[in-house]
Amino acid sequence: MLGCLLTSCAATVEPPSAVQLELAGSTSMQGLVEELAGAYTGRYDWVSIDIDPRGTQLGLEALRGGAVDVALVSRELRPEETQGLEAVVIAYDAVAVIVNSQNPVDDLTTAQLRNIYSGQILVWSELGGQEADIQVVSREDGSGTREAFEGAMMQGEDVTTMAVVMPGSEAMGHFVEGNPLAVGYRSSVGIPLGTRALRIEGVGPGVQAVAQGTYPLLRPFLLVIRQDAGQDERSFVDFVLSPAGQVIVGQRYGRARH
């Protein structure tokens, strides 16, 4: 009887079933979410997480269509988008206005930036730069970064039709890096070496300015799940909001929780 208790009668612990989570959305959030996903799957090795940086709007559409489990959204949800969904702020990001490293312009007011993007300021010499045309660079329709930028800066004015449109944060950075007369916008984290971020109203997009809320171009990073989401999705969101997850966030972004 004792042998039975010690060997064959011992309870068998079943390993957890494999879990696959599909995430899609904002290109600006890709790097941060990859770090968070790596930390999460390091703890729970039966979980795999795939990340598809297809843009905020397409991520939301994929979530609603059941193609993914979590949408990555780099702006506030509009009221009409909230039905059936739960959105959680996980971080705050600065949208950096970037120029080529050769550009001498260092600081813009919000009015100057709006006038650049509406096409009212056309040459860099009006801003203390060289006598040359400004090449305005924007993002594609459905970009969370674009909506955040226009919502904060444009006051209902349209972006000039002369703007070059780039399909993601990485493409935006590379275009400005290769074009001395270009101005664009993207997440302040990971901008290419051949570019630099301008100060807006005298404030740069540093981590401290994000944490203090003094930089004029801030936007939230959201994880969005369906209201009927299962425990697997909710466990990942809970980890991101936990002290361990927020330590990762706080290395480069403003924390959602302290």
CA angle, 134 as apex, 101 and 215 as ends, to 5°?
60
Q: Do 137 and 55 have their domain in common? A: no
The region, left, alpha or beta by phi > 0 then psi within -120 to 50, assigned to residue 147 is alpha
CATH number at residue 232: 3.40.190.10
Same domain, 123 and 151: yes
> Is beta strand 199-200 parallel, antiparallel or unpaired with respect to 107-108?
parallel
Structural domain boundaries, residue 192 = 94-212
Same-domain check for residues 237 and 189: no
Q: What is the pLDDT of residue 12?
A: 64
Q: Are residues 199 and 131 in the same domain?
A: yes
**pLDDT tens-digit series, residues 7-58:** 555 556 677 899 999 999 999 999 999 999 999 999 999 999 999 999 999 9
Based on the fold, state whether residues 234 and 198 are members of the same structural domain: no
135-169 tens-digit pLDDT = 999 999 999 999 999 999 999 999 999 999 999 99
173 and 228 co-located in one domain = no
Contacts of 189 (CB under 8 A, 6+ apart): 31, 32, 93, 252, 253
Same domain, 110 and 188: yes
**Band (4; pLDDT cuts 50, 70, 90):** low
Residue 90 has a pLDDT of 98
Residues 147 and 195 in one domain: yes
Six-digit token pair at 111? Answer: 């009015």
Number of alpha carbons in the 13 Å side-chain half-sphere of residue 185: 31
What is the average pLDDT score of the chain?
A: 94
- Do both 87 and 106 map to the same domain? no
Tell me 203's DSSP state.
B
Looking at the fold, whether 232 and 186 belong to one and the same domain comes out as no
Statement to judge: residues 149 and 86 lie in one domain: no
pLDDT 10s digits, 215-256: 999 999 999 999 999 999 999 999 999 999 999 999 999 999
How many independent structural domains does the chain possess? 2
Give the SS3 label for residue 205.
Answer: coil
pLDDT computed for residue 11 by the predictor = 56
